[in-house]
Structure 1
Amino acid sequence: MTDVRELLPLYALGILEADEATIVDQAIAKDAALAAELAGYQSAAAQLIVPESPGPEVKARLLASVGGGRFEQRTSRMASLFDVSVDRARELLGLIERPASWTQEMPGIALVHFDGGAAYAAADCGFIRLEPGAVFPSHRHVGDEVTVVLQGTLRDSSGRMLQPGDELVQAAGSQHELVCEGSEPCIFAARAMDGIEIGGVSVRPNKPSL
């Protein structure tokens, strides 16, 4: 049987299995000398570990790695919108938090493109970010387009104001533009079957493997 004292350094570092940690907890509750010895190890461990706040890029990667970050509540909706698993939807939402995921297409407009599931293999799928006051130019929908707002206030050319959680469905052949209202950037998810046309020219992304 392992001597409890051999477990104390590992306990101080927080790397014991749950059952072994329980053994230590029970032992130090009964033995003041063991508790004092553990306190010494914990003090030494604290001096070895220097806290450091992660930079913006590292923080964003951490948020992406653990899930959809601040948009976690939209996971199921994104899974349905893009025909992907819930886990994949969570991963995609996490990309929003990563500056490196975005491609600046024109001033005030950035995009993240990715592939949808089998049902939407022909669609352009992604996230769009508009800076305050930016306009996504007037475009024609080759197929139907579905937009779901994630952040900010988006104004459709019809005059409709869209808030987070709102959905806008555009039929094939329809045309509109979108304006980011208010003081914060607008972020929305979009799925456009067969892409869009701007000024009569087909606009299709080169989609990286994200």
Structure 2
Amino acid sequence: MPKHHPSEEILMAYAAGSLPEALSLVVASHLTLCPACRAEVEAYEALGGSLMDALDPASLDESAFSSIMAEIDMLDSETEESAPWGGAMPLPRKPDMEDPSLPRPLRDYLQVDLTALQWRKVMRGVEDTEIELGPDGAKTRLMRIQPGVAVPKHTHHGQEVTLVLEGGYSDADGHYERGDVQIADPSVDHQPVADVGEPCICLVVSDAPMKMTGTFGRLLNPFVTY
């Protein structure tokens, strides 16, 4: 059972279908690994449904109804499955791929398992691979950190949300394992260190580059776009 979770505000926005695509992917993947957050989201959805039922119905003329039904028919013909979060986001499927490290929402996006991904070296012991999502301004990637490797000490210009998929890591705020979510912002200055024994693989969404804070890292800040 994960010990670190998305905030209540994020879960409520997810239930309402108002999260950006990248952050929705993180939450949807976390929900497959966290029964507690699944139950919380289901409660928010039920509450939203009750509020909708309490509203007085609005009249809809025949032409508007016909237009809406035509759009629904068009969407049905273009996509076989909608995303597990709000909206009509198509999710590609590959039923014959079963990688237990990848939650189903993420697996459907990647269309390959972890062993088939093309990893790019970021620094010694750290690799990543980008995931192309909608143009919402967020950078989405998988990171693979070798056992015992420390990421350079840094803070953030914006918000970074990390979901652990394999292995784990520790920083000043605690220990994060499979299913755990860490939300870091400019108030967080940390140096994650991967657990020994196996690589740490994470899904990471950030809306701005990190800011190095170590003695030598500060010299690199003019060149950091990560």
TM-score relative to the length of structure 2: 0.49
Q: Does 1:113 align with 2:130?
A: yes
Q: How does 1:114-129 map to 2 (within 5 A)?
A: 114-118=131-135, 121-129=136-144
- Give the secondary-structure state (helix, strand or coil) at the position aligned to 1:194: coil
Give structure 2 stretches of 5+ with no counterpart: 1-93
Cα distance in 2 for residues equivalent to 1:197 and 1:66: 41
Aligned residue number for residue 191 of structure 2: 177
Cα displacement string for residues 74-97 of structure 1 (whole angstroms, at most 9, x for unaligned residues)? 233x4xxxxxxxxxx523273532
- Which of the two has greater strand per residue? 1
TM superposition outliers: structure 1 runs of 4+ over 6 Å = none
Cα distance in 1 for residues equivalent to 2:209 and 2:121: 19
% identical aligned pairs: 24
Provide closer, same or farther for how the CA distance between residues 68 and 117 of structure 1 changes in structure 2, counting only shifts above 3 A. Answer: farther
Q: CA RMSD in A?
A: 2.5
Q: Which has the higher contact order (CA 8 A, sep 6+)?
A: 2
Aligned residue number for residue 165 of structure 1: 179
Amino acid at match of 2:109: E
Aligned residue number for residue 116 of structure 2: 98
Aligned length: 126
Cα distance in 2 for residues equivalent to 1:173 and 1:145: 12
Provide closer, same or farther for how the CA distance between residues 169 and 184 of structure 1 changes in structure 2, counting only shifts above 3 A. Answer: same
Verify the 8 A CA contact 1:67 1:91 in the aligned structure 2: no
- Give the secondary-structure state (helix, strand or coil) at the position aligned to 1:177: coil
Aligned residue number for residue 71 of structure 1: 101
Verify the 8 A CA contact 2:159 2:185 in the aligned structure 1: yes
Aligned-residue offset at 1:173: 4.6
Amino acid at match of 1:91: Y
Aligned residue number for residue 79 of structure 2: none
- Which of the two has greater helix per residue? 1
Verify the 8 A CA contact 1:124 1:204 in the aligned structure 2: no
Bigger-Rg structure (1/2): 1
Cα displacement string for residues 153-208 of structure 1 (whole angstroms, at most 9, x for unaligned residues)? 211233x1111000001124532111111211110111111221223416225xxx
Give structure 1 stretches of 5+ with no counterpart: 1-63, 79-88, 206-210
Cα distance in 2 for residues equivalent to 1:204 and 1:93: 27
